[in-house]
Structure 1
Amino acid sequence: MIPVQHSPTSEGAPPRFRLLSALSYCAPLLVNGIVLPFFPIWLATHSFSDHEIGIILALPMVVRVLVAPIVAMIADRLKERADVLLWSGGLSLLTAIALYWTTSFWPVTIVYTLQGATFAPYLPVVESIVISGVRRWGLDYGSMRVWGSIAFIVSTLGGGQLISRWGGEMVLPVMVFGFTMTVVMAIFCPRIGPTRRRGQPINIPAATGSGLREPHLLLLLIGVAIQQSSHAVLNAFSSIYWHQLGFSGAEVGLLWSAGVASEVTVFFLSKRLNRRFNAWTLIRFGCAVSVCRWILFPMNTGLAGFFLLQCFHGFTYAFVHTGVQRRIVATVQETQESSAQGAYYFYVGMAMALMTIAAGYLYALLGVVSFYVMALVALCGLGLVISAYYLQPQRLLSGGKTREAT
């Protein structure tokens, strides 16, 4: 499990911290549950080409990864990190409204890129607040994070039904509703004060010195970023691909929801998994399943087959994400928490942006065969993760284990 810190004082968690943290995850993932699977369909409805869709989806990722670490470092120095969420949600809401008046390539690209910049810090800052609660009061990360995944499922299933009935034009109204909820939750998000310097995790060594500059952590984040970028073709073109195979909007929503439902299962079982497997095992296994998933994806196995492949998402994302969070907690101090989350999102976002641009050209050239390329990408990420494991400082404990094996 994610290790906890003994608080320097004897206070417990603020009232309703778990509830408000769970709802704070729900708001941004409600947005993602519409934007990720269905915004490409909105673009296709307006006759954008595969190349244009790839560029429109990728540019916000580039801007996002440049903005998120900077804002995250600022958040670490604020009295209340949650204050960042209000302007992030508010400005993002304005960009969603602006999309009503943009239907050609450059206006859509500019507005959607601005949305990527304004929304970039929202989830990393929520993540840093929750992880601080885990450190200080020994709360269970998975039990709070899981509700964001549930919100994604509800959003995706509901969005699929709306699109089946009224078409791709329903994407924008639901997007506006989602961003409105991010503003509401920015007001009610837990406010727990600035990050702390005192207190150390139990069962792991004190996070010291270089922290974010630890070579093994940097290589791990890069390796995971490459592995996560192998989802680019899935994110950008799977909905279009399934529509071409004759699946309805509701069935596409069901397939996306299956992936997130598998995340929910992993987060619900996180305590048990973390007691049995260390972080490195979760990450390596998730990367290996990615390779198998993309090899199988081009095969038209029908709704049931794609449903099963989508269930692999619990391994290819949730296992890896949970493992990385544990490694961050074991390596950096709480004073660097938002910065660490920003760095994580930077590497993943930059790799995803570049791969999404490439995905537009790959899909136009190769079609679903592009997933075989994604299998090679995931394999490269796995190789870097294995290399990062062997770069850990070897501080031997009794029994021959390392302190860094958490």
Structure 2
Amino acid sequence: MAKPEFAATRYYFVTYWPAAVTVTYLPIWLNERGISDAGIGLINTMPMAGILLFSVLVGRLADRAPDWKQAIMLGTGVSAAFSLLLGFAEGFWMILVVWSMTNLPAGLVSPVADAATMRLSMRLGFSFGSTRAWGTIGFLAMCFLTGYLVLWFGASSFVWLIAVACGARFLVATGLPRLRDSDRPRAASDGRLLSREVIAAFEPWVLLPVIAGAILFANHMVMNAFSSLVWKQQGLSEPVIGGLIALGAAAEAATMFAWQRINTRFPARVLILIAALASMLRWLGMTLSPPLWVIVIMQLGQAVTFTFSYLGCLYFIAKRTSEDISAEAQSLFGVMMQGFSILIVSGFGFVFGIFGVNAFWICVTLSACALGMVQLSLRIRRPDSAD
């Protein structure tokens, strides 16, 4: 593995460690600090709201910098600094501010890192999918490690685990290579909310599959939020539930490792189309409370429903935009994913409380809408060698 590829892979292996610690123990830690259920929800969603407001602006500023690495280091560095204050935070408002500043800066530069690494991989000839797969592996490893460390050292270990994870992410960010092609001439973008180049690039036939991919991503956020509760109500034990979640992540990583072969054989929009069709079947299965062996097959379907849509969109956007607007374009996709996730997860929670597993018909319907969007895009413009 060449040095730039190794540095990028190392960054992705570490970059999801804070998210893993958060998913594993944050609600429990907040509850023990006396935070109400509503307060826990607000603390979790405040960084997402900040990403919605500022992500495109940060992407645009990153595109104007001499190199994307500077933005990545700044975002992860600010996150690491504020993570050191979490152990001293007392009361709802102080925890809300410190937690938001621990997560928001790194969240804002995440699309920048995707765009930069994508461009680096295209320039040097390695697979972004394989590099991104190590992020999933790192996330899983830290989930298991957090569970054991909290068990051994108690709930107070959560704050130093977050600090270590954020600090490690900043350290590996400093080891990233130069990400922008220094020999390529650059053009300054203009425009207000979005640059004119991004607006021009996102023609209707381009925008439709990107929106579809964001919807499919949001459906997976529903799965992350409610699958363990659904399976627990169906009588599955905690170890089985944990195994099912790990199985889905493993299937996702396996497809990412094989992405270079997949991506060269199928146009990106066709892969998003396949993901939408598979998503309809997967979420339909969730409405039926199927036996364990069917759930296993459904979890293996994550290899298609998530990876095909997520990586398909990243590659599709990269091929339709220039390097000058890469971070801004990927940040726009990130805003779509976050926005749909907030709307769909919150709406699903309300419907789930009334109709139970039949609420997954929301995901089935949205996947069908995503399928229609991609089909319309293909009718407007057929796939070509640049798709």
The SS at the match of 1:79 is: coil
Q: Distance in 2 between matches of 1:224 and 1:158?
A: 31
1:135–1:275 distance in 2 versus 1, CA, 3 Å = closer
Trace 1:50-61 onto structure 2 (pairs within 5 A): 53-61=40-48
Kindly indicate whether the alpha-carbon contact (under 8 Å) linking 1:58 and 1:357 is maintained by their aligned counterparts in 2. no
1:306–1:97 distance in 2 versus 1, CA, 3 Å = farther
Q: Does 1:138 align with 2:128?
A: no
Kindly indicate whether the alpha-carbon contact (under 8 Å) linking 1:29 and 1:152 is maintained by their aligned counterparts in 2. yes
Q: Does 1:311 align with 2:300?
A: yes
Q: Quote the RMSD (CA, aligned, Å).
A: 3.2
Aligned match for 2:335, one of 331, 340, 346: 346
Q: Distance in 2 between matches of 1:48 and 1:368?
A: 29
After superposing the two structures, state which structure 1 stretch, 250-259 or 336-345, moved more. 250-259
Kindly indicate whether the alpha-carbon contact (under 8 Å) linking 1:160 and 1:253 is maintained by their aligned counterparts in 2. no
Aligned AA (1:73): R
Aligned match for 2:161, one of 174, 181, 190: 174
Larger RCO of the pair (alpha carbons < 8 Å, separation 6+): 1
Shift of 1:18: 0.6
Q: Does 1:247 align with 2:247?
A: no
Q: Distance in 2 between matches of 1:369 and 1:167?
A: 38
In percent, how many aligned pairs have the same letter? Answer: 24
Shift of 1:259: 1.9
Aligned AA (2:176): C
1:39–1:385 distance in 2 versus 1, CA, 3 Å = farther
Q: Does 1:155 align with 2:145?
A: no
1:307–1:52 distance in 2 versus 1, CA, 3 Å = farther
Kindly indicate whether the alpha-carbon contact (under 8 Å) linking 1:297 and 1:371 is maintained by their aligned counterparts in 2. yes
Could you state the TM-score of these two structures normalised by the residue count of structure 2? 0.83
**Structure 1, unaligned stretches of length 5 or more?**
1-12, 200-207, 395-400
The SS at the match of 1:190 is: coil
In structure 2, the residue matched to 1:335 is: 324
Trace 1:156-305 onto structure 2 (pairs within 5 A): 156-162=143-149, 171-193=158-180, 197=184, 211-241=200-230, 245=235, 247-248=237-238, 251-298=240-287, 300-301=289-290, 305=294
Aligned AA (2:69): A
1:326–1:184 distance in 2 versus 1, CA, 3 Å = same
Kindly indicate whether the alpha-carbon contact (under 8 Å) linking 1:61 and 1:352 is maintained by their aligned counterparts in 2. no
Aligned AA (2:57): I
In structure 2, the residue matched to 1:6 is: none
Any idea what the Cα deviations from partners look like across 1:215-260, whole Å, max 9, x if unmatched? 2222222221122111232222334555665633x55543332222
In structure 2, the residue matched to 1:204 is: none
Q: Distance in 2 between matches of 1:286 and 1:142?
A: 16
Kindly indicate whether the alpha-carbon contact (under 8 Å) linking 1:224 and 1:385 is maintained by their aligned counterparts in 2. no
Q: Does 1:88 align with 2:78?
A: no
**Structure 2, unaligned stretches of length 5 or more?**
187-196
1:52–1:212 distance in 2 versus 1, CA, 3 Å = farther
1:381–1:92 distance in 2 versus 1, CA, 3 Å = same
Could you state the TM-score of these two structures normalised by the residue count of structure 1? 0.80
In structure 1, the residue matched to 2:66 is: 79
Any idea what the Cα deviations from partners look like across 1:142-187, whole Å, max 9, x if unmatched? 2322211211221223234445667766544433222111111121
The SS at the match of 2:306 is: helix
Kindly indicate whether the alpha-carbon contact (under 8 Å) linking 1:124 and 1:341 is maintained by their aligned counterparts in 2. yes
Aligned match for 2:13, one of 14, 26, 30: 26
1:120–1:155 distance in 2 versus 1, CA, 3 Å = same
Aligned AA (1:19): F
Q: Distance in 2 between matches of 1:124 and 1:172?
A: 26
Shift of 1:101: 4.8
Aligned AA (1:183): F
